[in-house]
Amino acid sequence: MKYLAFIFVLSLACSGCKRDMSISAIPKGIPMTDKIKKSDAEWMTILTPEQFKVARKKGTERAFTGATWDNKKEGIYHCVCCDLPLFPSTTKYESGTGWPSFFQPIAQDNVALESDRSFFSVRTEVLCAKCDAHLGHVFEDGPKPTGLRYCMNSAAMNFQPASPKP
């Protein structure tokens, strides 16, 4: 029985090994040379408790409760911590998950991807490339053209509506 449990755990650990989160078709952004580093105390003075929990402590808001999960307005979603543009509304779609979902970021260099092995699973975490804020996770079950679903937390982003057209 211990042997079967070991094999099961090993298979979970390796299930993400073959992932190719290819985002090569996404436009390059502005290279991030000036990373933002602040202490938790500094972040706590800037962010709400919910934003701090999600963006700085890798939390997750409850599904269908975030401010922008069902937002359909035109604009850009920015990092709540450093204001880096992350996702255009033109790549947002209804995934049925209860979190804002996008099929690609505004620029490849504006997000960073890291392996996340928490909660007995292997996922790919999405971070802000400028300040390392936790944004959410990316999965390979999204729509064309990328096949990716960037499942983000509303609390980690600010929405800036597009300027009215004259």
81 has catalytic annotation? no
Strand intervals (E) in the chain = 75-79, 85-88, 92-93, 101-102, 111-116, 123-128, 134-139, 149-152, 157-161
List the catalytic residue out of 79, 81, 131, 151.
151
CA distances from 76 to 20, 85, 88, 100, 143 (A): 27, 7, 5, 12, 20
SS3 state of residue 2: helix
SS3 state of residue 159: strand
SS3 state of residue 94: coil
Instruction: Give the catalytic positions in this structure.
Output: 151
